[in-house]
């Protein structure tokens, strides 16, 4: 079926819906492969940072400094300035739209501490995270969806986007599979926003939903758009042991501490100033180091998160959901027992390269692809650099989702519909038909499981040349095996086996780009830690990776673009200590 | 441990009517029921169809009827289901395929109660003020993840599918009792009819079904009282 809209937004999380809010006078379609309120924004727990100064003195420039330093100086600094300045107004916008923030005694938005957020350029922790209990993302998602209903935004629920349509260098639509009927649809648009989130499901242990398969990144990559800084993937320190479900950094923001098998609060030893509130890349490495030193619990591969000293009342009031997770999935009572945790795959700092108006840029010269936008985790602006600070993902969604919406509003005024390419659905139909008709006997579930194990074994917190090469060979083999994936379900109606097979290809693409970036980057920076190159190397590597897809896993082409720094000496790259 | 999993199956392209299918699965006691469904789908029968996403009880995708009660499959552990577990699509919805139900009507009802902040005043330059006490009054309703478990557990819905249902009323409550909102009277008016709050017979199935532990029936009663007394009572 053919449909036409001024703007098509793919993804109904915080970024997509925030963009939709900015387009009251346009025809807008939001396509989501789930229902909007199932989007993974809803799983964000801790808060959204903005220098409101409601609890103590704070300034956006301090927030910017923390963001740049937290990102180990791979952050484009003008983008970080926009992020932190506009965060303030964007948080007020959320409040005006109804978001039920926790409140201070005098009725203002309450704020709490979070990892890596400091006062006066690193002096000590600051209360900057605006929050709604430990379900801030849920509240953002609900509030944005409620406003979308108010604005009568048109939703296409349970539509899986398969392809981006590009004609003569201009984006002009998408092709999507309606999951309920198996029908293929073409959506013709002047502007397309990808807000499809991350790809945490590439790892066996992850905080991410089953939906986080790298859809948007892979689709863009297959249309010749490079993926930027994919080696910069965040492993959150406190995932529930084996399950991966996140226990928010808010637990440490409220005073929780990490405890090793010897009963030691070990972060004090590594990071004397910020201790347990050091940024996530550092805390995850410390946990891995403790485990390697034999300090895991009972010599195993986990340590504890300890919140016992906070007391039952504070835990119930400030951390109800994560307490529930520990009880439910581990049978552990956090009020009286420490909770077993391990690092868990959490967030892609990298993604589709964009400028600060969320326009997708396709090379090292910042050339935009007209009509194509990306925002949120799928995009790389780059405000997170080599390591994102806690709460800055939600800031990214609302600030750059909003900027995307505003820029698209202008773009659709100034531009007409670009014609669709001839036979726009052909590639997608051929691909889907192949999956239906294949008799290769291969199982998508097996391939996915091998991929997830390989990524945990060799593309995790610590990396080496040898391990990464092993992973690359493995991916090449899995991509070959993918050609033989065979479905048991041949039906058209709600074929989730088909959906999972399509998503597996997304995951394989994202993993391929991640490994190439990691293999080439012979330094350690932020979340990318190489055991064979332990030092950061600003002379050679203060630059962004751009990975272009080749014909197979081994022939990805890499290019680089400079990190944008500003004149102010306070932001000059220096050694990162906390 | 080895468990017998009975699942009510239905594929509109193949089956004239639903039937019971059975699988024997090896599971760990701390596996989620969702893990068990995945094991079946990924290693035994790829046609088994259900929704899921976050897998830890916050997205609301995998509400289903498990041993006769509406639960999220990702919040039920195998050690708690016994040697045999029976899984069906939730009642009160039409079935699309296997455990997948049609949620469109559910969301239409949600939309009908104007689930968004209604204000007539100009917005201030910073945040609107709200005391922690005012915030606490409507806290419970903000936990709702729109999974539909409450609505699908309600005999009043089974008997009358047009009824607005508990989830919508919970979300109306969330705004009616929000001190910043000015649309309370409008919503109370919408809910004061036979397909509004009054079809609730205080059966409490909804509160039992809620995976977020929202006291659904209490909130419905508060809305009823607000209709009778002409507005939300001060806490």
Percentage of chain B lying above the pLDDT 70 cut: 99
Nearest CA in chain A to B175: A98
Same domain for A491 and A525, yes or no, is yes
Q: Are residues A525 and A463 in the same domain?
A: yes
**Contact across the interface for B130 and A103, Cβ inside 8 Å:** yes
Could A37 and B181 be called an inter-chain contact, meaning their C-beta atoms sit closer than 8 Å? Answer: no
Of B96, B131, B146, the CB nearest to A494: B96
Contact by Cβ (8 Å): A561, A362: no
> Which residues, numbered 114 to 143 in chain A, qualify as contacts with chain B under a Cβ-Cβ cut-off of 8 Å?
132, 135, 138-139, 142
Report the chain B residue with the minimal C-alpha distance to residue A104.
B132
Beta carbons of A210 and B52 less than 8 Å apart: yes
Supply the pLDDT for residue B234. Answer: 53
Q: State how far the Cα of A381 lies from the Cα of A510, in Å rounded to an integer.
A: 17
Residue A471 lies in a domain: yes
Q: Give the nearest chain B residue to A449 (CA atoms).
A: B42
**Contact at CB, B96 and A493, closer than 8 angstroms:** yes
CATH code for the domain in which residue A453 is found = 1.20.58.100
CB A38 within 8 A of CB A108: no
Last residue of a domain, which of A308, A343, A378? Answer: A343
Question: Which is nearest to A375 in space by CA: A391, A354, A395, A392?
Answer: A354
Q: Which of A37, A147, A149 sits opposite B145 (nearest CB)?
A: A37
Examine residue A189 and state whether it is found in any structural domain, yes or no: no
Q: What confidence category does residue B232 fall into, taking pLDDT thresholds of 50, 70 and 90? A: confident
Residues A454 and A501 in one domain: yes
Grade residue B233 by pLDDT with cuts at 50, 70 and 90.
low
Can you tell me the distance from the alpha carbon of A115 to that of A404, in angstroms, rounded to the nearest whole number? 28
Domain locations in chain B? 2-101, 104-229
Record: contact B135-A102, CB cut-off 8 A = yes
Between strands A154-157 and B63-66, the pairing is unpaired
Task: Please give, rounded to a whole number of angstroms, the shortest distance from the CA of B226 to a CA of chain A.
Answer: 21
List the one residue out of B148, B152, B154, B147 whose CA is nearest residue B205. B154
Please state the rounded mean pLDDT for residues B79-101.
96
Q: Which of B42, B60, B116 is closest, CB to CB, to A146?
A: B116
Stated as kind and residue range, the H or E segment containing A20 is helix A14-21
Pairing of strands A462-463, A118-119: unpaired
| Residue A505 Cα to chain centre, angstroms | 18
The minimum CA-CA distance between B136 and chain A, rounded to whole Å, is 9
pLDDT tens sequence for chain A (578 residues): 899 999 999 999 999 999 999 999 999 999 999 999 999 999 998 899 999 999 999 999 999 999 999 999 999 999 999 999 999 999 999 999 999 999 999 999 999 999 899 999 999 999 999 999 889 999 999 999 999 999 999 999 999 999 999 999 999 999 999 999 999 999 999 999 999 999 999 999 999 999 999 999 999 999 999 999 999 999 999 999 988 999 988 899 899 999 999 999 999 999 999 999 999 999 999 999 999 999 999 989 999 999 999 999 999 888 888 888 899 888 899 999 999 999 999 999 999 999 999 999 999 999 999 999 999 999 999 999 999 999 999 999 999 999 999 999 999 999 999 999 999 999 999 999 999 999 999 999 999 999 999 999 999 999 999 999 999 999 999 999 999 999 999 999 999 999 999 999 999 999 999 999 999 999 999 999 999 999 999 999 999 999 999 999 999 999 999 999 999 999 999 999 88
The residue among B10, B52, B56, B103 with the most chain A CBs within 10 A of its CB, best to mutate, is B56
Determine the Cα–Cα distance for residues B19 and B107; give it in Å rounded to an integer. Answer: 28
Please say whether the beta carbons of B101 and B89 come within 8 A: yes
Q: Which helix (H) or strand (E) holds B134?
A: helix B132-137
User: Mean of the per-residue pLDDT values for chain B?
Assistant: 95
CB contact under 8 A, A108 and B132: no
Same domain, A16 and A124: yes
Structure tokens at A57: 């003195």
Same domain, A439 and A545: yes
The CATH number linked to A353 is 3.50.50.60
Probe site for chain A from B127, B140, B141, B174 (most A CB atoms < 10 A): B127
Closest CA relative to residue A205, chosen from A4, A343, A100: A343
Give pLDDT, residue A250: 87
Would you call A42 an interface residue with chain B, using a CB distance cutoff of 8 Å?
yes
| Residue A40 annotated as binding site | yes
CA–CA min distance B228, chain A (Å): 26
Minimal Cβ distance to A37: which of B43, B60, B132? B60
User: Residue B172: which of B224, B126, B208 has the closest Cα?
Assistant: B224
Searching chain B, which residue's CA lies closest to the CA of residue A207?
A: B54
Give residue A93's domain range. 2-154+348-414
Closest alpha carbon within chain A to B76: A328
A72 shares its domain with A128:
yes
Residue from B38, B74, B142, B179 to probe the interface with A (highest A Cβ count within 10 Å): B142
Radius of gyration of chain A (CA): 22
Q: How many CB pairs under 8 A join A and B?
A: 150
* CATH code where residue A287 lies: 3.90.700.10
Pair (A307, A366) in one structural domain: no
Number of Cβ within a 10 Å radius of residue A164: 23
Residue B235 — pLDDT band, cuts 50, 70, 90?
very low
- Map residue B229 onto helix, strand or coil: helix
In this predicted model, what pLDDT tens digit does every residue of B95-111 receive, in sequence order? Answer: 999 999 999 999 999 99
Report the side by side order of strands in the sheet with B84-88.
B19-26, B2-9, B84-88, B63-66, B69-72
Helical (H) or strand (E) element with B172 = helix B166-176
Chain A residue closest in CA terms to B49: A496
Question: CB contact, 8 Å: A159 with chain B?
Answer: no
Alpha-carbon span A382 to A385, nearest angstrom: 6
Q: What is the C-alpha separation between A251 and A307, in angstroms, rounded?
A: 7
Does residue A561 fall inside a structural domain?
no
Pairing type for strands A2-10 and A183-194 reads parallel
Looking at the complex, report in whole angstroms how far the Cα of residue B222 sits from the nearest Cα belonging to chain A: 20
Percent of chain B with pLDDT over 90: 93
Q: Is residue A290 part of a domain?
A: yes
Are A259 and A379 contained in the same domain? no
Q: Which of A44, A116, A16 is nearest to A347 (CA)?
A: A44
Task: State the helix-helix crossing angle for B33-43 and A444-458, rounded to 10 degrees.
Answer: 120
Q: Do A38 and B178 touch (CB under 8 A)?
A: no
Tell if the CB–CB gap between B135 and A103 is shorter than 8 Å.
yes
CATH architecture of B2-101: Roll (3.10)
In a domain, A6, yes or no: yes
A107/B181 CB distance under 8 A: no
Any binding-site annotation on A304? Answer: no
Give me the sheet containing A543-548, strands edge to edge: A227-228, A543-548, A557-562
Three-state secondary structure string covering B49-99: CCCCCCCCCCCCCCEEEECCEEEECCCCEHHHCCCEEEEECCCCCCEEECC
Strand partners, A306: A257
CA-CA-CA-CA torsion for A201, A204, A208, A211, nearest 10 degrees?
40
Question: Under DSSP, is residue A2 helix (H, G, I), strand (E, B) or coil?
Answer: strand
Distance CA(A532)–CA(A520), nearest Å, equals 12
| Distance between A418 CA and the closest CA of chain B, angstroms | 33
DSSP per residue over A456-506, as a string? HHHSSSEE-HHHHHHHHHHHHHHHHHHTTB--S---STT-HHHHHHHHHHH
Phi and psi at residue B208, in whole multiples of 5°? Answer: -65, -35
pLDDT tens, B199-231?
999 999 999 999 999 999 999 999 999 999 988
Question: What total of structural domains would you count in chain A?
Answer: 3
> Under an 8 A CB cutoff, do A43 and B54 touch?
yes
Among A470, A576, A568, CA closest to A515: A470
The phi and psi torsions of B100 (rounded to 5 degrees) equal: -90, 120
pLDDT tens per residue, range B24-81? 999 999 899 999 999 999 999 999 999 999 999 999 999 999 999 999 999 999 999 9
For chain A, how are helix, strand and coil distributed in percent, rounded to 5?
40, 20, 40
Give the Å distances, CA to CA, from B215 to A554, B71, B143, B144, B208: 56, 15, 11, 11, 8
Task: Give the whole-angstrom CA distance, residue A449 versus residue A452.
Answer: 5
- Asked if the domains at B2-101 and B104-229 fall in one CATH topology, the answer is no
Nearest CA to CA, how far is A28 from chain B (Å)? 18
A398's torsion region: left (phi>0), alpha (psi -120 to 50) or beta?
Answer: alpha
Residue of A113, A119, A128, A280 marked active site: A280
Q: What is the DSSP letter of A528?
A: B
Does the annotation mark A463 as catalytic? no
Quote the ipTM score: 0.97
Asked if residues B216 and B207 have their Cβ atoms less than 8 Å apart, the reply is yes
Cβ–Cβ < 8 Å for A184, A176: yes
CB-CB under 8 Å, A445 with B61: no
Q: Is residue A366 in some structural domain?
A: yes
Tell me which architecture the domain covering B104-229 has in CATH. Answer: Orthogonal Bundle (1.10)
B11 pLDDT higher than 80:
yes
Distance CA A462, CA A502 (A): 30
Please identify, among A284, A311, A343, the residue that sits at the C-terminal boundary of a domain. Answer: A343
């Amino acid at each position: 079926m053919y449909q036409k809209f001024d703007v098509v937004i793919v993804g109904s999380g915080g970024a997509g819906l925030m963009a939709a809010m900015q387009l009251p006078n346009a025809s807008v379609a939001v396509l989501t492969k789930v229902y909007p309120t199932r989007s993974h924004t809803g799983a964000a727990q801790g808060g959204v940072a903005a220098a409101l100064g409601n609890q103590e003195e704070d300034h956006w420039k301090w927030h910017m400094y923390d963001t740049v330093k937290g990102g180990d100086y791979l952050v484009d600094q003008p983008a970080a300035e926009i992020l932190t300045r506009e965060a303030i107004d964007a948080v007020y916008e959320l409040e005006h739209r109804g978001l039920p923030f926790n409140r201070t005694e005098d009725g203002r938005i309450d704020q709490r501490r979070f990892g890596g957020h400091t006062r006066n350029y690193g002096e000590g922790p600051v209360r900057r995270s605006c929050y709604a209990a430990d379900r801030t993302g849920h509240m953002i998602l609900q509030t944005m969806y409620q406003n979308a209903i108010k604005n009568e935004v048109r939703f296409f629920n349970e539509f899986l986007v398969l392809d981006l349509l590009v004609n003569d260098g201009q984006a002009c639509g998408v092709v999507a599979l309606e999951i309920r009927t198996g029908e293929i649809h073409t959506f013709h648009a002047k502007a397309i926003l990808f807000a499809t989130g991350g790809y945490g499901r590439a790892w066996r242990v992850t905080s991410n939903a089953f939906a986080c398969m790298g859809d948007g990144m892979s689709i863009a990559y297959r249309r010749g758009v490079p993926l930027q800084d994919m080696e910069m993937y965040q492993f959150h320190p406190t995932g529930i042991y084996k399950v991966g479900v996140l226990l928010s950094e808010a637990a440490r923001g409220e005073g929780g501490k990490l405890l090793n098998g010897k009963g030691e609060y070990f972060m004090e030893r590594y990071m004397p100033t910020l201790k347990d509130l050091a940024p996530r890349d550092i805390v995850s490495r410390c946990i891995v180091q403790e485990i390697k030193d034999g300090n895991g619990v009972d010599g195993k591969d986990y340590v504890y998160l300890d919140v016992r000293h906070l007391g039952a009342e504070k835990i119930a009031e400030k951390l109800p959901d994560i307490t529930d997770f520990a009880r439910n999935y581990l049978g552990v009572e956090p009020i009286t027992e420490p909770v077993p945790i391990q690092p868990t795959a959490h967030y892609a700092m990298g993604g589709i390269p964009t400028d600060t108006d969320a326009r997708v840029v396709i090379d090292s010269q910042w050339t935009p692809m007209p009509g194509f936008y990306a925002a949120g985790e799928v995009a790389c602006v780059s405000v997170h650099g080599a390591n994102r600070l806690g709460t800055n993902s939600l800031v990214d969604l609302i600030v750059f989702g909003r900027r995307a919406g505003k820029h698209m509003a202008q773009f659709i005024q100034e531009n007409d519909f670009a014609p669709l390419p001839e036979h726009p659905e052909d590639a997608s139909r051929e691909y889907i038909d192949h999956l239906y008709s294949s008799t290769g006997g291969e199982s998508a579930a097996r391939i996915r499981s091998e991929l997830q194990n390989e990524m945990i074994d060799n593309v995790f917190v610590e990396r080496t040349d040898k391990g990464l090469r092993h992973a690359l060979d493995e991916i090449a083999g899995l991509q070959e095996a993918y050609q033989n994936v065979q479905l048991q379900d041949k039906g058209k109606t709600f074929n989730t086996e088909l959906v999972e097979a399509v998503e597996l290809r997304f995951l394989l693409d994202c993993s391929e780009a991640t490994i190439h970036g990691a293999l080439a980057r012979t330094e350690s920076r932020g979340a990318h830690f190489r055991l064979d190159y332990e030092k950061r190397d600003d002379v050679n590597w203060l630059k962004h990776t751009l990975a272009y897809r080749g014909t197979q896993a081994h022939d990805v082409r890499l290019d680089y673009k400079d990190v944008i720094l500003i004149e102010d000496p306070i932001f000059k790259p220096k050694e990162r200590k906390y | 441990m080895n468990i017998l999993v009975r699942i009510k199956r239905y594929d509109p392209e193949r089956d004239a009517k639903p039937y019971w299918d059975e699988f024997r699965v090896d599971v760990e006691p701390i596996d989620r029921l969702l893990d068990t469904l995945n094991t079946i789908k990924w290693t035994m029968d790829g046609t088994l169809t259900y929704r899921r996403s976050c897998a830890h009880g916050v997205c609301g995708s995998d509400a289903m009827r498990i041993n006769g009660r509406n639960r999220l499959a990702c919040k039920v552990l195998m050690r708690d289901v016994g040697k045999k577990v029976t899984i069906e699509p939730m009642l009160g919805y039409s079935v699309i395929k296997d455990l997948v139900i049609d949620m469109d009507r559910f969301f239409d009802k949600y939309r009908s109660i104007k689930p968004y902040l209604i204000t007539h005043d100009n917005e201030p330059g910073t945040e609107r003020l709200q005391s922690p006490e005012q915030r606490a009054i409507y806290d419970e309703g903000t936990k709702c993840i729109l999974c539909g478990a409450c609505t699908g557990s309600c005999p009043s819905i089974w008997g009358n599918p047009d009824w607005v249902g508990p989830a919508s009323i919970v979300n109306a409550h969330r705004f009616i009792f929000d001190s910043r909102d000015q649309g309370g009277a409008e919503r109370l008016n919408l809910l004061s009819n036979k397909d509004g709050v009054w079809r609730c017979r205080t059966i409490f199935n909804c509160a039992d079904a809620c995976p977020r532990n929202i006291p659904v029936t209490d909130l419905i009663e508060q809305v009823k009282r607000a209709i009778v007394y002409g507005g939300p009572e001060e806490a």
